[in-house]
Amino acid sequence: MSIGVFTAFLFATSILAGFLGSLTGLGGGVVIVPVLAILFHVDIRYAIGASLVSVIATSSGTAVAYVREGLSNIRIGMFLEVATTMGALLGAYLTAKVSSHSIAIIFGAALLYSAYASLRTFRTADSVATVSEYVDPLATQLRMNGSYPGPSGEQPYSARHIPLGFGIMFGAGALSGLLGIGSGAVKVLAMDQAMKLPFKVSTTTSNFMIGVTAAASAGVYFSRGYIDPGIAMPVMLGVLAGSLIGVHVLVKARVAALKLIFGMVIILLGFEMIYSGWTGRI
């Protein structure tokens, strides 16, 4: 395969990855890493480096649009970034200590658990914490509440279980540094399931957060030579283009459909990554 054909295929695949990542809050990296490693036979550490660059671009490109639409909660996102950034630095440090086969298996296991937790609580509507429901006192003190535009007007919500969400976010950051996925899958689950935020708020706030998390670990990968411009550039441009398309679709998309896409995509990729790591293909 010539360099031109390779770049074109890589760019087209990255557009699809960015589109799915924008819709589900995954950030595109969860799709692009296994695609690079399995289909394009790129070393998994270089795939992770390219993914981290694309995650930063995706977050930068979509965050403004989601904030403008009133979906992202910046206050919650910045608070949780303290945990994810510390975890990302730990995960990036561990990359040189863990084999590529083990990274692939850990990657797949993380995806399968994320899919299980998401589909187990599959719902057709967002759950919100209104004034008539229990409100976490710590969330009230930290002002972790807000509203987002719904079909019938502004829908209020309030975060819950702040310490649990903070702890899960540290693990999400470690996965981001180790696997280069932006850890959007775990972040969405932490906010949607543990902190009981509406799904659209969870996915858009995740998109806002993943760039900061990825930037914390991308520097470590760059210093070790794991970021190849020939791979990272078409991936970054493709994922960014796909994510901008996803921004316009998400605002009108049904939450149930988003959850189904979220679960199905990561189940398929999870099994493939575990198999490839176990058999030595990665």
Q: What is the pLDDT of residue 130?
A: 42
Phi, psi of 234 (to 5 degrees): -65, -35
Read off the amino acid at residue 34. Answer: P
Q: What is the mean pLDDT of residues 199-215?
A: 78
pLDDT digits (tens, 9 = 90+) for 83-121: 988 888 888 788 777 777 787 788 788 778 767 765 665
Where are the chain's structural domains? 3-278
Task: Kindly state the percentage of the chain with pLDDT values over 70.
Answer: 80
Q: For residue 200, count other CB atoms closer than 10 A to its CB.
A: 24
* pTM for the full predicted model: 0.67
pLDDT band at 11 (very low <50, low <70, confident <90, very high): very high
pLDDT digits (tens, 9 = 90+) for 65-89: 777 777 788 888 889 989 988 888 8
Q: What is the pLDDT of residue 128?
A: 44
pLDDT digits (tens, 9 = 90+) for 24-57: 656 666 778 878 887 888 888 888 888 888 878 7
Q: What is the pLDDT of residue 124?
A: 41
CB 95 within 8 A of CB 220: yes
Radius of gyration of the chain (CA): 18
Residues 6 or more apart from 133 whose CB is under 8 A from it? Answer: none
Q: What is the pLDDT of residue 62?
A: 67
Q: Which residue has the tokens 């807000």?
A: 146
Residue 113 in tokens: 């658990």
| Listed residue (77, 83, 53, 118) closest to 204, CA to CA | 77
Q: Lowest mean pLDDT of 1-15, 38-52, 125-139, name the range.
A: 125-139
Q: How far apart are CA 134 and CA 86, in angstroms?
A: 31
CA separation, residue 265 to residues 31, 86, 160, 261 (Å)? 8, 28, 28, 6
Q: What is the pLDDT of residue 118?
A: 59
Element (H, E) at 164: helix 162-179
